[in-house]
Amino acid sequence: VNLVTGKAPSATQGDDMAMVRARRAFLSRRYYQPLAAALAEVASAAEPHVIADFGCGEGYYLGELMGGPQLSGVAAYGTDISKPAIAAAAKAYPAAQFAVADTNRLIPLAGAVVDVGICVFAPRNPAEFARVIAPGGRLLVAIPAQAHLADLRERFGLLGIERDKATKITAQLGGFTLASTRNVSHTARLDGAALRDLIAMTPNARHMDAGTSAQLADVRVTNAEFEFEILEFIRYTKGNEIS
Ligand SMILES: C[S@@+](CC[C@H](N)C(=O)[O-])C[C@H]1O[C@@H](n2cnc3c(N)ncnc32)[C@H](O)[C@@H]1O
**Three-state DSSP state, 16:** coil
Q: What is the DSSP letter of 242?
A: P
138-147: average pLDDT? 97
61 neighbors 239 (Cβ within 8 angstroms): no
Tell me how far the alpha carbon of residue 118 lies from the centroid of ligand 1, in angstroms: 12
Ligand 1: which of 121, 197, 206 to mutate, judged by most atoms within 8 Å of the beta carbon?
121
216 or 6: whose pLDDT is higher? 216
Among the listed residues 150, 13, 217, the one whose alpha carbon sits nearest the alpha carbon of residue 208? 217
239 backbone dihedrals φ, ψ, rounded to 5°: 80, -10
Q: How far apart are CA 139 and CA 213, in angstroms?
A: 37
The answer to whether the CB of 15 is under 6 A from ligand 1 is: yes
**Angle subtended at Cα 174 by Cα 3 and Cα 41, rounded to the nearest 5 degrees:** 75
114 backbone dihedrals φ, ψ, rounded to 5°: -95, 130
76-90: average pLDDT? 97
The answer to whether the CB of 70 is under 6 A from ligand 1 is: no
236 neighbors 176 (Cβ within 8 angstroms): yes
pLDDT digits (tens, 9 = 90+) for 13-70: 799 999 999 999 999 999 999 999 999 999 999 999 999 999 999 999 999 999 988 8
**Residue 171 exposed, middle or buried by CB count within 10 Å (0-12, 13-18, 19+):** exposed
Work out the percent of the chain whose per-residue pLDDT is above 90: 84
The radius of gyration computed from the CA coordinates of the chain, to the nearest angstrom, equals: 18
Mean pLDDT of the chain: 93
Residue 72 binned pLDDT confidence (cut-offs 50, 70, 90): confident
User: At residue 118, does pLDDT exceed 70?
Assistant: yes
Residues in CB range of 125: below 8 A, 6 or more apart:
54, 103, 104, 107
6 or 196: whose pLDDT is higher? 196
85-99: average pLDDT? 97
What is the number of other CB atoms lying within 10 angstroms of the CB of residue 221? Answer: 10
The answer to whether the CB of 57 is under 6 A from ligand 1 is: yes
Q: What is the DSSP letter of 205?
A: G
pLDDT digits (tens, 9 = 90+) for 180-231: 999 999 999 999 999 999 999 988 877 888 998 999 999 999 999 999 999 9
Within a 13 Å sphere around the CA of 139, how many CA atoms are in the beta-carbon half? 31
**What is the predicted pLDDT for the residue at 238?**
65
Q: No. of H helices and E strands in the chain?
A: 9, 7
User: At residue 242, does pLDDT exceed 50?
Assistant: no
Q: How far apart are CA 243 and CA 227, in angstroms?
A: 28
171-178: average pLDDT? 95
